[in-house]
Amino acid sequence: MAALTAAARQAANMFRISAPKSAAASAQTSILVQRRGLAGGGDPHGPPKVNFWQDPLSPSKWKEEHFVIVSLAGWGLLFFGGYKFLTRGKKEKNEEKVGEGAQ
C-alpha cells in the first residue's frame, strides 16, 4: 500500500513538472511541488532544545521526545511504587495447627 501511494505521488509530481511549458506556469509548479519533506530540522525560533541528561533540572529546555520518555517513566515508577507500598502488608495466613483437632 505504501509503495503504491509513493508511486502515485511520484507520478503526480512528474505530471505537474512536465505538463506546463511556459515560464509563468513552471514558476507556479515550483510552488506546488514539495521539495524537502520533513528535512526542515525543527523549529528555528525559540531556544535550542537539549537532551535531558545535559540539563536535568529544566524540563522546558528538553527535546520533546525526551520529555515524553522521562514523564512516562516517572508516572510508571509512581504507580508501581504505590502498588508495592499498598500491597506489601497483605500476606496469606494459611497456618494449620497440627495435632489439636483429634482428641
Distance CA 60, CA 67 (A): 9
Q: What is the pLDDT of residues 33-82, one digit of tens each?
A: 666 666 656 656 778 899 989 999 999 999 999 999 999 999 999 999 99
Q: Taking a C-beta distance cutoff of 8 angstroms, is the pair 47, 61 a contact?
A: yes
What is the pTM for the complete model shown? 0.44
Residue 17, Cα to own-chain centre: how many angstroms?
A: 35
Q: What is the pLDDT of residues 4-41, one digit of tens each?
A: 677 777 777 666 655 555 666 555 656 666 666 666 56
Q: What angle do CA 45, 27, 13 make, to 5 degrees?
A: 85
Provide the terminal-to-terminal Cα distance of the chain, rounded to the nearest Å: 80
